[in-house]
Amino acid sequence: MSAQSVFVAGTDTGIGKTFVSCALLRALRADGLRAVGMKPVASGCEVTPDGLRNDDALALIAASEPRPDYPTCNPFAFVEAVSPHLAAAAERAEVTLAPIEAAHARLAGAADVVVVEGVGGWLAPLSPTLLASGLPQALGLPVILVVGLRLGCLNHAQLTARAILADGCHLLGWIGNAVDPAMDRREDNLATLRRLLPAPCLGVIEHAAEAAAATTALAAAVAAVHALPP
């Protein structure tokens, strides 16, 4: 049977998609599943003797079981820490879907669940003709939205949720990540998000949470993945 897969999107860059994706991988593994992470496109990579390496992709690999090889986890890796379409152009390259689809198929053949982490926000450009939103569309993946809990999140979360649905994708749910420990009236903002977003809250991760606490906070996300049709 093919693996289940989910796409982890974010309301912005730098709001903890990797941390949440790794916590979700650990939670799925703790539930007895073979869970593997994927970072299809990564800019901001380090040159190493083994090739370009990205910290986010390496974190996903470390949280996976079985652990994928690097090129399968991260088919498109670029040096410059800028928007992927600019980083790719600087290296005379272009992000295309076929290598991503092939890598995802290999991961799905060796796991029960594949957690695919996006890059930037929902409409981040990957090439002149491809946006980040094109990845879950091409792969047919339901989306979990990571909402960075900080001032402005109510607007960003609603806009992103609307865009996800307008693009024909299934919004499985959202996860709040407390990126700003000093956020005013956080609980009121969470209550507002629960009222306004058209999908359930699948967990809230506290600021600077330890890995174990973050993993425990995602029990509802694990249940939502289990409930996906085969």
In angstroms, the first-to-last Cα distance of the chain is 8
pTM given for the model: 0.96
- The stretch 53-75 carries a mean pLDDT of 98
pLDDT at 160 over 70: yes
**Separation between Cα atoms, residue 85 and residue 95, nearest integer Å:** 8
pLDDT at 1 over 60: no
Q: What is the pLDDT of residue 3?
A: 79
**Separation between Cα atoms, residue 182 and residue 207, nearest integer Å:** 10
> Could you report the per-residue pLDDT of 84-96, keeping only the tens digit for each?
999 999 999 999 9
Please give the positions annotated as active site: 39
**Is residue 160 classed as helix, strand or coil in its secondary structure?**
helix
pLDDT at 127 over 80: yes
> Could you report the per-residue pLDDT of 100-123, keeping only the tens digit for each?
999 999 999 999 999 999 999 999
Q: Which domains does the chain have, with CATH numbers?
A: 4-226 (3.40.50.300)
- The stretch 175-202 carries a mean pLDDT of 97
Q: What is the pLDDT of residue 230?
A: 75
pLDDT at 229 over 90: no
**Separation between Cα atoms, residue 193 and residue 201, nearest integer Å:** 8
Please report which confidence band the pLDDT of residue 2 belongs to, taking 50, 70 and 90 as the band edges: low
**Separation between Cα atoms, residue 95 and residue 158, nearest integer Å:** 28
Which regions of the chain does DSSP assign to beta strands (E)? Answer: 4-10, 35-38, 41-43, 46-48, 51-53, 76-78, 113-117, 125-127, 130-131, 143-148, 171-177, 201-205
Which two tokens mark 103?
Answer: 């890598």
Cα angle 214, 216, 219 (rounded to 5 degrees) comes to 115
- DSSP for residue 220: H
